[in-house]
Structure 1
Amino acid sequence: MTINDRDRTIDALRAVAILGVVLGHWLVSALVSDPAQPAAWHGASPLAENPSLVPATWLLQTLGLFFFAGGFAAARGLRGRPAWPWLTSRVTRLLRPIAVLAAVWLPALGLLKLTGAPESTRHAVWSLVTHPMWFLIVYVVLLALTPLLRATLIRCGLWAALLPVALIALADLCRHLGADSPVLLLAAPIGWAAPYLLGIALSEGRLSRRHGLALTVGGVVAGAVLVLVAGYPASAVGVPGDNWSNLDPPSLFALALAAAQLGVFLLLRPRLAAGLRRPALWLPVVVLNLAAMTLFCWHQTALLLVSFASLPAGPLPGLLDAPTGLWPMHRLLWLPVFALVLAVLCAVFRPRRPAVDQAQDRVGERVE
């Protein structure tokens, strides 16, 4: 895709999505050190102790934005190209940074075991590093299905996005009843196919500002009904103690939230497009897009490195202490430290592919 073919508003949406994921994980991924054994860690969530923080999850849970931007980019990239070479190229670009992450962390986890790190600590580290990777599995599945999804969208219009919603409703019903269903096993790719299809629709000129208003109102109303009437958890992410998570797998509430977020994006898109002509706004978007996969793969490593470095000092406010009381405010003070360590990791592990280097050479051209 050439510079002139890029939709800057989609790049901005992707930048917002990656910031939401990184900040969201840093703010809810609490590692707690056992007072009797400081090296023994376990995971906890500040949301369990601070229900007032739940509305923040509605802003920071941005996976719907990711899949929407992914559907738009995939449909644009596939247009006029053979499907198989396009797919292998995209999947290879995704797998390379994951392979680098695995090459670092698999030996590191082995070293933790050899040095006698408690099992709870090794489990917490493994969970933080690997849990975000499920997103990429779902994304690869949807990439492989892009030709079929695009053809369905062209044939059926926006009605195509309602089928995943109906199947997720069936999956939610099975979860409420405690029944097993094959739909539950496929709920993640099925659910996130809805915003992915909407991204394809935008690439085909099938979404307008009018649809944005319908998605915003519909998403807000549906989300409120699901929580207040149907008894869905209010948090957009999993909270210890809740009966089940809206995110694992995605529920109707997750799709309602995605609809509301995407509706707001469509409503603001004309103003956003005008604003992104200014270099001061466009340059950060370019940088975040170039580093998106590196940020995604290594952001939890930054949190872990800071946590390991703090061990000699014992639990510090907002770091390795229980996420109660003023913990959320203390954690905010650690965000610049995490960001600095992540910047170093990005400098070390950024892809050295020619395409990325060429893109970086064109940053100045993009912001003119």
Structure 2
Amino acid sequence: MRYASITSRLAGLGSGKWALHIRARQLKASGADVIELTIGEPDVAPDRALLDECRRALHAGRYRYSNGRGEPSVVAALAEKYRRRRSDVTAENVLCFPGTQTALFAVMLGLAEAGQGVLVGDPLYATYEGVIRATGAHPVFVPLKPEFGFHMRAADLEAAVTPECRVLLLNTPHNPTGAVLTAAEIAAIGAVARRHDLWIVCDEVYEQLVFDGTFASPFDDPDLAERTVVVSSISKSHAAPGFRSGWAVGPAEFTGRLLAVSETMLFGQQPFIADMTAYALTHEIDTARQMREAYRRRAGRIVDGLAKAPGVSVLRPEAGMFALIDVAATGLSGEAFAWALLEEEGVAVMPGSSFGEEARDFLRVSLTVPDAAIDEACRRIAALAERCAGRRERRA
């Protein structure tokens, strides 16, 4: 039978990147003692008030067709949220989607097509390459170097730009590295975007999980307003990933053009979830603060817990719910170390290679498990690192 070319373009870019996570789930289901540090699944529940609002809306009959742009209450709440960052934002700048991933897919579909390039940092979140290739465009990787804390540098971006590039896909705070771009770094990146007439699509899902300092975004710069689109959701900020409630905010002309794309895909979100989202955006909810404190503390525990492990070095994150561990000095690649860790020690982590070439020597470790599990995982990681060191010594 014949298939559309998108199935070939996306071959190997879906669940294949999560093979270790899938295997770990199989082992756990069979009764194995596995500490799962693979995915960013918040370990706290959504605030009770959000669940109550969702239940209220359901019983009030809020389960009928929605507006293609989004329910008026959540559109208004989003307009107000982003108007606090830039005074010219109105409801015309907002589109609602079921989660950041869907928003990103639709936005990229509206900005890139076959033969064009999308600039993106490497390492990158595991779905980004698929989102880009789904449009027919191709990724143009900008190296994010460990020696610079995996921060994108304007000079590296400038060097990567080619004539066919149309979009820069930016992610700050960054997954998998936890890097947070400063206002100065964003200004320099924005200057490159203006010089080459690039759209900036900024994934800001970890905006409220910055450990120290302030969050900066190209969206907040009026000089970048005409070319910047933000995608985000309540998945991380409110520990509600399963509700699939996200959005895109950008120039009114862009959202007007993208509305037909959005309506063709899904025609709005579920009204009862929209009501819950509007509540989340208009009330003081403590969930993000709780997660920030927990994830910062656990990152510190990993740094301390692996301080004496041979051949292992932890990159302390600046935000988010992950930490990167450099295992190059163990003599194993990140991929080989991760699989050995699962098979020999019962700890599941993501190989850095799932996130790009620049992360091939790293492991990505989730901070979304209790402190005791973090400590035990560190003990097991150190045990494997010790065995690797012993094998190196015997070969020497």
Task: Pick the TM interval, shorter chain.
Answer: under 0.3
Q: Normalised by the size of structure 2, how large is the TM-score?
A: 0.23
Greater share of strand residues, 1 or 2?
2
Q: Normalised by the size of structure 1, how large is the TM-score?
A: 0.25
